[in-house]
Amino acid sequence: MDTTELREKLKPRIDFLWGDFTLASGKKSNFYFNGKTTTLRPDALNYAARIMIEMMRPNRPDRVGGLTLGADALIGAVTALSFDLGMPLEGFIVRKEPKAHGTARWIEGPELAAGQRAAIIEDVVTTGGSALKAVERVRDSRPGVEIIGVYALVDRLDGGREALAERGIKLASIFTRDDLM
């Protein structure tokens, strides 16, 4: 199945709500894309992961990761499917706070090494804050890792693309708010 067909199958599975919401960025909104609900559905997660792998393929990342919790399901699915799709990717998860015991690590997963190319995954991008936290944590703790871009399920078109671009990072999304509303 090509990505156009996968997008058409995924589109009705995006969990969209009207109401009064406070977003992770602190912004108020009368609509909400629930990325966690979407990516915890087996069909939607499979479609999204397959599309993201194809979106990343031209840039040939070595690794894929993002900030916990929004990226967790996508990271797992992308890493699992990437092997079957001929582009094996190791994953990593960026913590919001360092682990308080054991290794006290900010980044979990096989060690990121200088010279590797990493893609950051997000479920929903609003202001780009979560993606930027992941990017900055990787850059600060793993010098020499190249961030090839941020890949998102949905771009709310609320300034995230521009905030990432200001730091030299491209955003590619499966859908934008306009595609879904």
Q: Counting beta carbons within 10 angstroms of the beta carbon of residue 116, is it exposed (0 to 12), middle (13 to 18) or buried (19 or more)?
A: middle
Interval 144-178: pLDDT, tens: 999 999 999 999 999 999 999 999 999 999 999 99
> Is 36 a residue whose pLDDT tops 80?
yes
CATH 3.40.50.2020 fits 3-180, yes or no: yes
- 111-140 tens-digit pLDDT: 999 999 999 999 999 999 999 999 999 999
For the chain, domain boundaries: 3-180
Q: What are phi and psi of 24, to 5 degrees?
A: -55, -30
User: Are the CB atoms for 180 and 16 separated by under 8 Å?
Assistant: yes
Higher pLDDT, 102 or 153: 153
Q: Which ranges in 31-169 belong to alpha helices (H)?
A: 35-39, 42-56, 72-84, 129-141, 160-166
DSSP annotation of 26: S
